[in-house]
Amino acid sequence: CDDNVYLTMVINSHPYNSKRRQYIRRTWGNTTEISMTSKTKHRIRVVFIIGKSGQTSLDQSVEKESRVFGDLVLADFKDSIQNLTDKTLLGMLWQRKFCPKAKFFYKGDDDVFVNTYRLIQYADSLDSQHKKKYLVGRVHTSNRIPCRVKKHKYYVSYKDYPRRRFPPYCSGFAYMMTNDCVDLLAKQVKKVKLLKSIDDVYVGLLAEAAGIHPHANN
């Protein structure tokens, strides 16, 4: 990752979703640099986080795709909803290790279309205000009651989470944060019990532990 990357865009994808990744590469992910003015240009780096499918032929196809495009971060665990939080955390780890100087971190899903110019424009406004510890997205402030239905894919046991409500959190399909947030959230991982299938809620718990208040922007 170049030292002058301004924004990293880490996209959770699935081994099966090669067409979605191709679409992103051909559309909003097709640019590596956005000009705000004649003198101001910001570099973007887009990567996809993908786990293993368990199917040899498909995993080999993904590895070939990685060699061709160089934009895949391949996880050494099964790509499943039970490992969704691990994928999101891997994206943050990648940012810290390979793009530590990027000013902003965006996490999204591969079924979301992004207006990169507007996103950079918004990031630029935050940067001009010297914002720190800033996490922004679509914030859930209501309907934050954990699902206690055992057969539900988002089931959370009382053992894993005894509280009656989740703290406010950003929807996982798209949110952005200043780079210092990535470090602060990562430092809380060992302290906050993992919720494996609801990554956005878990990021909200990390933010709460780190003293970061999510800001709403739809």
* C-alpha triplet 128, 171, 158: angle, nearest 5°: 130
Looking at the structure of the chain, the number of domains it has is: 1
* pTM, to two decimals: 0.94
**Domain assignment of residue 210, yes or no:** no
What confidence tens digit (pLDDT) does each residue in 72-82 have?
999 999 999 99
- Number of Cβ atoms within 10 Å of the Cβ of 70: 8
The verdict on residue 159 lying in a domain is no
In a domain, 38, yes or no: yes
Pairing between β-strand 104-109 and β-strand 5-12 as defined by DSSP bridges: parallel
Predicted pLDDT at 169: 97
* 151 in a structural domain: no
pLDDT band at 38 (very low <50, low <70, confident <90, very high): low
Residue 218 lies in a domain: no
pLDDT of 122-159, one tens digit each? 999 999 999 999 999 999 988 889 999 998 999 999 99
pLDDT bin (cut points 50, 70, 90) of residue 15 is: very high
Mean per-residue pLDDT of the chain:
95
SS (H, E, C) the chain: CCCCEEEEEEEECCCCCHHHHHHHHHCHHHCCEEECCCCCEEEEEEEEEEEECCCHHHHHHHHHHHHHHCCEEEEEEECCHHHHHHHHHHHHHHHHHHCCCCCEEEEEECCCCCCHHHHHHHHHHHHHCCCCCCEEEEEECCCCCCECCCCCCCECCCCCCCCCCCCCEEEEEEEEEEHHHHHHHHCCCCCCCCCCCCHHHHHHHHHHHHCCCEEECC
Q: Is residue 217 in a domain? A: no
The string of pLDDT tens digits covering residues 157-195 is: 999 999 999 999 999 999 999 999 999 999 999 999 999
pLDDT, residue 40, reads: 80
> Stretch 105-126: mean pLDDT, rounded?
96
Q: Is 216 inside a domain boundary? A: no
**Residue 61 is part of which domain span?**
5-133+172-192
Residue at 78 is within a domain? yes
First to last CA, the chain: 29
The CATH number of whichever domain residue 40 belongs to comes to 3.90.550
pLDDT-based confidence at residue 3 (cuts at 50, 70, 90):
confident
